[in-house]
């Protein structure tokens, strides 16, 4: 199966760089922003959310549809996940700038829950290689599944708490993505039960 790590990483680096440059320009710091670094914060999290969504639903969608193009996406899921981690790290950069500019504004709970999300994301990124996969065995799947649902939860809850139209659209798409995963889970169970009854 073809793999496109360079193309995928290049898209993440290009988007991340473009947003960072824009965030420090008049567009990013000027009218339309409620506070400094808002553009950088929102744009980076929205771009990273797109990579996340692709990695989150590609497998289940393939199980439901068996579409050939999705098989290609699945074989590149590792690089899509790493691209998510890269762009989401730029979100972290803007969080640090935002906290520096507004000391005391970030709530302790946000920092703890968000901090755990970053810890899990980096653990996922660090173990996204064949060596860790073999070394960790069943714990690898546990870590990656748990982290993915934790990140899904934080993303969905945060988007749903915002009044922007884009945030509402993202909330809907994240909920649909979960539905797709649940449907694929049912299908897997059905297939397993059918195979057992045929055996
Ligand atoms: C570590 C602590 C974190 C802090 C202090 C923080 C801070 C912020 C701030 C200030 C905004 C902009 C809000 C606005 O302008 O209305 C934002 C947006 C957002 N953040 Fe973070 N963030 C953190 C971690 C995370 C993590 C780990 C995730 C996801 C896994 C995340 C997902 C989001 C989302 C979904 C939005 C809303 C984007 C939108 O409405 O379009 N954040 N964050």
pLDDT of the residue at 151: 98
Could you identify the atom of ligand 1 that is nearest to the CA of residue 99?
5
> What is the 3 state secondary structure string of the chain?
CCCCHHHHHHHHHHHHHHHHHHHCCHHHHCCCCCCCCHHHHHHHHHHHHHHHHHHHHHHHHHHHHCCHHHHHHHHCHHHHHHHHHHHHHHHHHHHHHHHHHCCCCCCHHHHHHHHHHHHHHHHHHHCCCHHHHHHHCHHHHHHHHHHHHHHHHHHHHHHHCCCCHHHHHHHHHHHHHHHHHHHHHHHHHHHHHHHHHHC
Distance from Cα 140 to the centre of ligand 1, integer Å: 27
pLDDT of the residue at 125: 97
Evaluate: CB of 172 within 6 angstroms of ligand 1.
no
> How far is the C-alpha of 15 from the C-alpha of 87, rounded, in Å?
8
> How far is the C-alpha of 152 from the C-alpha of 124, rounded, in Å?
14
Q: Which mutation among 45, 109, 113, 116 tests ligand 1's pocket best, with the greatest number of atoms within 8 A of CB?
A: 45
Look up residue 166 and give its two tokens: 């884009």
pLDDT of the residue at 37: 92
Evaluate: CB of 158 within 6 angstroms of ligand 1.
yes
* Cα 31-33-38 angle, rounded to 5 deg: 150
pLDDT of the residue at 1: 56
What ranges do the domains of the chain cover? 5-198
Evaluate: CB of 167 within 6 angstroms of ligand 1.
yes
pLDDT of the residue at 38: 94
Over the chain (199 residues), the average pLDDT of each successive run of 10 is 84 95 90 89 97 97 95 95 98 96 90 97 97 96 97 98 96 98 95 86
Q: Which mutation among 34, 104, 114 tests ligand 1's pocket best, with the greatest number of atoms within 8 A of CB?
A: 114
Distance from Cα 44 to the centre of ligand 1, integer Å: 9
Angular region, 129: left φ>0, alpha ψ -120 to 50, beta rest: beta
Evaluate: CB of 148 within 6 angstroms of ligand 1.
no
Distance from Cα 41 to the centre of ligand 1, integer Å: 7
* φ, ψ dihedrals at 32, nearest 5°: 95, -15
Evaluate: CB of 118 within 6 angstroms of ligand 1.
yes
From residue 80, how far is each of 25, 37, 108 by CA, in Å? 28, 26, 31
């Amino acid at each position: 199966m073809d793999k496109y790590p360079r193309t995928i990483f290049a898209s993440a680096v290009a988007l991340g760089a473009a947003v960072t440059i824009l965030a420090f320009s008049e567009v990013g710091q000027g009218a339309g922003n409620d506070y400094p670094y808002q553009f950088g914060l929102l744009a980076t999290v929205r771009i990273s959310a797109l990579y996340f969504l692709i990695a989150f639903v590609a497998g289940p969608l393939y199980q439901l549809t068996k579409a050939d193009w999705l098989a290609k996406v699945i074989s590149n899921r590792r690089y899509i996940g790493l691209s998510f981690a890269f762009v989401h790290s730029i979100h972290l950069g803007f969080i640090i700038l935002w906290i520096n500019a507004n000391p005391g504004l970030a709530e302790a709970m946000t920092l703890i829950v968000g901090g755990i999300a970053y810890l899990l994301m980096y653990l996922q990124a660090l173990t996204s290689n064949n060596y860790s996969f073999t070394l960790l065995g069943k714990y690898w799947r546990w870590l990656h599944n748990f982290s993915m649902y934790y990140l899904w939860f934080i993303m969905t809850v945060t988007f749903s708490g915002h009044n922007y139209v884009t945030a509402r659209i993202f909330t809907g798409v994240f909920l649909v993505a979960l539905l797709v995963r649940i449907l694929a889970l049912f299908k897997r169970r059905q297939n397993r039960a059918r195979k057992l009854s045929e055996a």
